[in-house]
Amino acid sequence: MKLLFWIGLVVVVLGIASLVVPVPHTEHHGIKADNVNIGIETRHDEKISPWISGVIIVGGVSMMLAGSRK
Q: How far apart are CA 30 and CA 66, in angstroms?
A: 51
pLDDT reading at 1 higher than 70: no
Mean of pLDDT values over 42-70: 90
pLDDT (average), residues 51-65: 94
Round the average pLDDT of the chain to a whole number and report it.
90
pLDDT of 47 above 70: yes
CA distance 23 to 2: 31
pLDDT of residue 37: 84
Q: Tell me what pLDDT residue 69 has.
A: 80
**Alpha helical stretches, state H, 1-70:** 2-20, 50-68
Output the pLDDT for position 7.
94
Amino acid at 7: I
pLDDT for residue 35: 85
Q: Find the distance separating the first CA and the last CA of the chain, reported in whole Å.
A: 8
Contacts of 49 (CB under 8 A, 6+ apart): none
